Amino acid sequence: MDTALSLLAATDQLNQKTEQSPLAIHMGLSSGTALVGSARLEGQRGTRWIYTASGPVINLAARLASVAAAGQIMVGPEMVSRLGQRYRLENLGPRPLRNISEPVEICRVLGTPSG
């Protein structure tokens, strides 16, 4: 979580220094077991390898990111229990998310207790 918060802070600093369109980051963080590995893709330009992750935990993270506004980090129940009291969270209640059968309790990360 510290890295995600640092990324938001760095993006904000970068946006203040540039006259170009600001970068907008929307984050969804989930925790659990995922399938990870490399995949070989064949195409007109030849062979290339990608590293990918898949599974319900990845789908949940993507759906949480889609709910997040620019500059926000959203987390689901598993992340909330892992974070404990180390971060300030705003409970947004259960929300229906695409391709997830039951509504998910969503929290927005507000920062560290001292920040």
Predicted local confidence at residue 67, as pLDDT: 96
**HEC profile of 11-70:** HHHHHHHCCCCCCCCEEEECCCCCEEEEEEEEECCEEEEEEEEECHHHHHHHHHHHHCCC
pLDDT, tens digit, 9 for 90 and up, residues 24-55: 999 999 999 999 999 899 999 999 999 999 99
The domain spans of the chain are 24-111
Q: Do residues 106 and 94 lie in contact, with contact meaning Cβ atoms separated by under 8 Å?
A: yes
pLDDT, tens digit, 9 for 90 and up, residues 51-107: 999 999 999 999 999 999 999 999 999 999 999 889 999 999 999 999 999 999 999
Q: Do residues 76 and 106 lie in contact, with contact meaning Cβ atoms separated by under 8 Å?
A: yes
Predicted local confidence at residue 104, as pLDDT: 97
Q: What is the pTM of this model?
A: 0.86
Predicted local confidence at residue 49, as pLDDT: 94
Predicted local confidence at residue 84, as pLDDT: 86
Predicted local confidence at residue 27, as pLDDT: 98
The CA-based dihedral angle spanning residues 61, 64, 68, 72, taken in that order and rounded to the nearest 10 degrees:
-50
Q: Do residues 67 and 107 lie in contact, with contact meaning Cβ atoms separated by under 8 Å?
A: no
Structure tokens at 90: 């705003």
The CATH classification number of 24-111 equals 3.30.70.1230
Does the pLDDT at position 114 exceed 80?
Answer: no
Does the pLDDT at position 115 exceed 80?
Answer: no
